[in-house]
Structure 1
């Protein structure tokens, strides 16, 4: 009997999208429950640690988007062939999240003066540094994030590009041909392409 899955998140792609893509890749049916932001105070106490996304599987509530992506990536045969290759994928994904958190520290800063002071170093130093490093890294890995082959890390990376673009208000792949090529490979995987075609339209 197939597991019953319910994914709970805000009405956006962001950190839930890698999970949605991997569930779609695996042909696992799931309820894509998107709540409005004003509902969050009433939903938050029911989550494991006060955060979303939360994936409920047969009544068990699970959280942490990277851990869930890694788990379903393994189920999909998109992990490394050994512990070393798994480590290479984890390093790439953790580095991507370092980048995301650097952007989020600016984007979600509620103090105007602090946010303003973060903007120039973020856009002139942090963003170019990470994007150039990722471009070089993907080139060196045969067009992928790790091990010269498609992994769950690539799906995770491409799935949150819209979120990064939304926060930065630019296309991070625009001037980076290897990132662009990786994005195009992932979004054209048939089951992921089918999900993208039917998902709700959101900015991030």
Structure 2
């Protein structure tokens, strides 16, 4: 049994980029998946009532980006200096901003309101962010920061996957750099193997 455990719901969500990074780094881990029905009983035992949780040698940490940053450093996917790490963190926080803008659509139950939110996202939010991501990718030799592959590129790929699943539209289809970067991550041998073998999940 591995000394590293990753606990999340039975889905991709905010854990998938961590799984990608662990697989890429050839780090063995136990992929623990919690069903939604079992979550209320476990919630109070977590540090801040949320998942994912990362456990290493009995020590537990939360917050998916903090975990990704930590693993990125372990497997040489961090910046070469503090400024590059700032660039990486800036992109990661921007991706979080983008994800949060999709939550009202995801949570809306009224079909008419939901469709209006979707059209606003596709006509305003997605172009606003992706036109800027394209500039970053061009500037950084096909990556988002530091002129090289870093952990935030993995988060980018899984975020695109999440947004596409939520909206039912390939959000990066019109953006060549973003599409190429996502494909580049998904075709890394260890990640490609994981994608082919991972469980089919509702999200």
The residue aligned with 2:90 is 91
RMSD, aligned CA = 2.0
Answer yes or no: is 1:180 the counterpart of 2:190: no
The residue aligned with 1:55 is 54
Moved more, 2-11 or 121-130: 2-11
**8 Å Cα contact 2:91-2:152 kept in structure 1:** yes
Is the partner of 1:74 in helix, strand or coil? helix
What is the TM-score of this pair, normalised by structure 2?
A: 0.91
Counterpart Cα distance in 2 of 1:179 and 1:58: 36
Q: Could you say if the C-alpha distance between residues 3 and 203 of structure 1 is closer, same or farther in structure 2, counting changes exceeding 3 Å?
A: closer
Moved more, 127-136 or 101-110: 101-110
TM-superposed deviation, 1:159: 2.3
Number of residue pairs matched?
Answer: 203
TM-superposed deviation, 1:109: 4.2
Is the partner of 1:51 in helix, strand or coil? coil
The residue aligned with 2:139 is 140
The residue aligned with 1:30 is 29
The residue aligned with 1:124 is 123
Counterpart Cα distance in 2 of 1:161 and 1:202: 17
**8 Å Cα contact 2:9-2:36 kept in structure 1:** yes
Counterpart Cα distance in 2 of 1:182 and 1:118: 27
Counterpart Cα distance in 1 of 2:29 and 2:153: 22
Answer yes or no: is 1:150 the counterpart of 2:149: yes
**8 Å Cα contact 1:17-1:159 kept in structure 2:** yes
**8 Å Cα contact 1:104-1:167 kept in structure 2:** no
**8 Å Cα contact 1:166-1:203 kept in structure 2:** no
The residue aligned with 1:164 is 163
Moved more, 62-71 or 37-46: 37-46
Is the partner of 1:80 in helix, strand or coil? coil
Is the partner of 1:160 in helix, strand or coil? helix
Is the partner of 2:44 in helix, strand or coil? helix
Q: Could you say if the C-alpha distance between residues 160 and 40 of structure 1 is closer, same or farther in structure 2, counting changes exceeding 3 Å?
A: same
Describe the superposition over 1:18-39 as per-residue Cα deviations: whole angstroms up to 9, x where unpaired. 1111111222111111121111
TM-superposed deviation, 1:130: 1.1
Counterpart Cα distance in 2 of 1:52 and 1:83: 28
**8 Å Cα contact 2:84-2:145 kept in structure 1:** yes
Unaligned residue ranges in structure 1 (runs of 5+): none
Q: Could you say if the C-alpha distance between residues 4 and 40 of structure 1 is closer, same or farther in structure 2, counting changes exceeding 3 Å?
A: same
Is the partner of 1:15 in helix, strand or coil? coil
